[in-house]
């Protein structure tokens, strides 16, 4: 009795090798994507995605090199200040947190929470 195997993804009848699992490359790719979506997101992936989002947001709002923006504006876009790559402390003792080349410092101005956004400068390396 000959057994007809079916594609793991779309249930189409398979023709060809006896160990074949998918009818074509699209079904294989779709199946692998589906399996990845079912798995819990790895910690590294979560951190990497948040860093990328933070960098994108800081880049979008800091076009002049140094600018002040409301905290709520960044947070509404998905910014999370707990994710940063490094920091720099100035002579006043203020600690700027950086997401790659884009830095931010939380300040309070007239009872409003704000961020001072800066770009990494060469003198900060010293």
Which own/partner contact pairs does 92-99 have at CB distance under 8 Å and 24+ positions apart? 99/51, 99/54, 99/55, 99/58
How is residue 44 written in tokens? 């590294």
d(CA 94, CA 92): 6
Position 1 pLDDT exceeds 50: no
What is the pLDDT, as a whole number, of residue 64?
Answer: 86
d(CA 77, CA 75): 5
Q: Where are the domains of the chain?
A: 1-39, 43-125
Query: Pick the residue with more confidence: 75 or 40?
Result: 75
Q: Say what percent of the chain tops pLDDT 70.
A: 97
Confirm whether pTM is higher than 0.85.
Answer: no
Enumerate residues 6+ apart whose C-beta is below 8 A from 69.
Answer: 61, 114, 115, 117
How is residue 35 written in tokens? 């399996």
CB-based contact 41:15 (threshold 8 Å): no
pLDDT tens sequence across 49-102: 999 999 999 999 998 889 999 999 999 999 999 999 999 999 999 999 999 999
Mean predicted confidence (pLDDT) in 7-23? 91
Alpha helix ranges (H) inside the chain: 25-38, 43-61, 71-76
Position 4 pLDDT exceeds 80: no
């Amino acid at each position: 009795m000959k057994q007809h195997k079916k594609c793991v993804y779309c249930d189409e009848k398979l023709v060809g090798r006896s160990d074949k699992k998918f009818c074509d490359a699209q079904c294989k790719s779709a199946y692998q994507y589906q399996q990845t979506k079912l798995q819990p997101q790895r910690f590294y992936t979560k951190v990497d995605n948040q860093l990328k989002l933070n960098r994108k947001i800081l880049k979008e709002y800091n076009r002049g090199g140094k600018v002040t923006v409301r905290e709520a504006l960044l947070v509404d876009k998905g910014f999370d200040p707990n994710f940063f790559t490094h920091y720099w402390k100035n002579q006043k003792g203020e600690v700027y947190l950086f997401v790659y080349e884009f830095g931010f410092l939380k300040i309070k101005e007239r009872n409003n929470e704000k961020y001072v956004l800066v770009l990494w400068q060469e003198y900060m390396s010293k």
